[in-house]
Amino acid sequence: MNRDKLQENLREFELACRKAGLKVTHQRLEIYRELAISTDHPSAEVLHRRLTQKIPMLSMDTVYRTLATFNLNGLIHKVETIESQACFEVICERHHHLICRQCRKIIDFYWPSIDEAELPDELSLWGKIDSRNVVVYGICNNCNSVKITNNKEDGNNDTDKKIDHQ
């Protein structure tokens, strides 16, 4: 994210906080800033580790509570994964996620045709849908090539047997 976009994003964040009745504290601002510049969808633990370099007295509990407050107020997005560890992001553009089952890396991707598609009629009977997103799981090429390389080193030529297709 370039500097101008970051500054605009931080101004919008401050306005959204005030509108939601949240104080814009130094810690909240730094947690949001770190999320805004992150491209790796960090967990609360990763954010805490990064931020204690800037704010040594920042507690893990403060990071957890702040992320929960931001998420509750729609200021950030909690990326839903099959693991129990939550990951977070600041949403600048509509997108979806691709998650590697092996290394857990999360990649953003865009799929306009799915965003514009009509939902099935029977969903209207369920209630009001306010958001939708796609999460795709698989094994990335990096992890696949590591497994294939390891198989060759083990003398196993049947690489399909060792590749985890969960």
Domain ranges of the chain: 1-92, 93-166
CATH 1.10.10.10 fits 1-92, yes or no: yes
Provide the phi-psi class of 68: left if phi over 0, else alpha when psi is between -120 and 50, else beta. alpha
Distance from C-alpha of 94 to C-alpha of 114, rounded to nearest angstrom? 11
pLDDT digits (tens, 9 = 90+) for 75-98: 999 987 777 678 999 977 888 888
Q: Taking a C-beta distance cutoff of 8 angstroms, is the pair 94, 115 a contact?
A: yes
Specify the pLDDT at position 150: 67
Q: What is the mean pLDDT of residues 145-159?
A: 60
93-166: CATH topology:
Dna Ligase; domain 1 (3.30.1490)
Give the number of C-alpha atoms closer than 13 A to the C-alpha of residue 79, restricted to the C-beta side: 28
* pLDDT exceeds 90 at position 20: yes
Q: Are both 1-92 and 93-166 of the same fold? A: no
Q: What is the mean pLDDT of residues 115-144?
A: 88
